[in-house]
C-alpha cells in the first residue's frame, strides 16, 4: 500500500536502542519526523543523522519530535548514537514490520544489481497523526532544511 499526504500515519510499536517500546500513537498531539534510513555508520546515513543532530534545537523549537528507524539492531543503534552523540531515539525494525507498513522496504537497483532494501524516506506527521509531508528525495547533508523549509 502506498501512503499519501493526508493519510493517517500507520501506528506501530517497536523497540528503540535501549529496548524501550516506541509507539507512534504515544506522540499524538506532537509533530513527528519519522525518518527511514538504510544502515547505521554508512556515509549517507551518518551525514543525515548528524545533520538532524546539528539542527536538533531548531527542530524542537519548531515543535518536532525526531525518530529514526532502520533494520539495524538495538545494539547497532546504541553504538551509532554514542559515536555521533545523537539526541533522538533510533528504532530497531529488524523484522521490517514498520518498513512494510510505510512501504519503505522495496526493490532497489545499484550498479546493475537488484536487491531488497530500505528506501530512504522521511514522513512528517502532524499533531493529528496524519501524514503532512513525504520526503523521498532526501538530501542527507541538508535534511533538516528540507523539513524546516
Q: Which residues are catalytic?
A: 45
Classify 12 as helix, strand or coil.
Answer: coil
Within 10 A of 57 (CB to CB), how many other CB atoms are there?
10
Among 15, 9, 123, CA closest to 78: 15
Phi/psi at 24 (5° precision):
-60, -40
Nearest 5 degrees, angle CA 149-CA 29-CA 105?
65
Cell of 65: 519530535
Whole-angstrom Cα distance, residue 143 to residue 55? 9
Nearest to 46 by CA among 18, 22, 72: 72
Amino acid at each position: 500500500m502506498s501512503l499519501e499526504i493526508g493519510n493517517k500515519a500507520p501506528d506501530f510499536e517497536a523497540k528503540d536502542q535501549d529496548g524501550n517500546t516506541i509507539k507512534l500513537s504515544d506522540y499524538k498531539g506532537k509533530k513527528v519526523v519519522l525518518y527511514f534510513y538504510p544502515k547505521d555508520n554508512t556515509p549517507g546515513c551518518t551525514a543525515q543523522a548528524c545533520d538532524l543532530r546539528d539542527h536538533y534545537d531548531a527542530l524542537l523549537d519548531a515543535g518536532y519530535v525526531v525518530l529514526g528507524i532502520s533494520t539495524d539492531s538495538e545494539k547497532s543503534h546504541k553504538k551509532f548514537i554514542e559515536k555521533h552523540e545523537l539526541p533522538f531515539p533510533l528504532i530497531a525494525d529488524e523484522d521490517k514490520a514498520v518498513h512494510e507498513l510505510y512501504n519503505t522496504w522495496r526493490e532497489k537497483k545499484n550498479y546493475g544489481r537488484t536487491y531488497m532494501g530500505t528506501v530512504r524516506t522521511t514522513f512528517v506527521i502532524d499533531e493529528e497523526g496524519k501524514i503532512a509531508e513525504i520526503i523521498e528525495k532526501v538530501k542527507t547533508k541538508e535534511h533538516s532544511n528540507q523539513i524546516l523549509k
